[in-house]
Amino acid sequence: MGVRPQVWRRIQVQETVTLTQLHSVLQAVMGWEGDHLHQFSLSEDENITLAELFGDDGFTFSYLYDFGDRWQHEVTVEKRLASESGKRYPVLWWASPLPTRGLRRGLGLCSSAEGAEELPPSRV
């Protein structure tokens, strides 16, 4: 959304994740600490799940973080996948640049799909 180089993360979450939980996931993968207000463009009810919002096709929505600096993010739900038994979610796939703060906080992030690691459960 106007930032160069573009910063993006690809994460996999269960469809039962609520917007409240998704906010926590986004905070973790971006290396933020939840110090600012946020807002989703989808719904004011943050207890709604992605499954309740998901139709037959994927969809895109906005996530605003920090009302002062207005960090506007585009979140795209690409597709619905079956949950894998025994797999812990969320799973993160990421692309550079990775915020240095995120590395210092030891989030267990990885640089490729083959080396994907789970986020610590305490952060979700």
Domain range for 40 is 9-123
Whole-Å CA distances, 121 to 21, 24, 82, 94, 108: 11, 11, 20, 18, 11
Q: Which of 6-15, 54-63, 101-110 has the lowest mean pLDDT?
A: 101-110
β-strand pairing of 38-40 with 9-12 = unpaired
Asked, for residue 2, whether it belongs to a domain, the answer is: no
Alpha carbons 118 and 105: distance in angstroms, whole number: 15
Asked, for residue 79, whether it belongs to a domain, the answer is: yes
Residue 1: which of 92, 65, 91, 90 has the closest Cα? Answer: 65
Asked, for residue 4, whether it belongs to a domain, the answer is: no
Asked, for residue 43, whether it belongs to a domain, the answer is: yes
Q: What is the mean pLDDT of residues 96-123?
A: 43
Q: How confident is the model at residue 24 (pLDDT cuts 50, 70, 90)?
A: very high
**Token digits for 99?**
């915020």
CATH number at residue 108: 3.10.290.30
Asked, for residue 3, whether it belongs to a domain, the answer is: no
Cα-based torsion angle of the residue sequence 73, 103, 105, 8 in order, rounded to the nearest 10 degrees? 10
CB 40 within 8 A of CB 25: no
Asked, for residue 33, whether it belongs to a domain, the answer is: yes
Question: pLDDT by residue (tens digit) across 40-76?
Answer: 998 889 999 998 988 777 899 999 999 998 989 999 9
Please report the pLDDT score of residue 48 as a whole number.
Answer: 94
Beta strands in the chain (DSSP E): 9-12, 38-40, 59-65, 71-77, 91-94
- pLDDT of 95 > 70? The answer is no
State how many domains the chain has.
1
User: In the chain, pLDDT over 70 holds for what percent of residues?
Assistant: 72
Asked, for residue 50, whether it belongs to a domain, the answer is: yes
Asked, for residue 1, whether it belongs to a domain, the answer is: no
Please report the pLDDT score of residue 36 as a whole number.
Answer: 93
What average pLDDT is seen over the chain?
A: 77
Most confident by average pLDDT, 2-6, 44-48, 76-80: 44-48
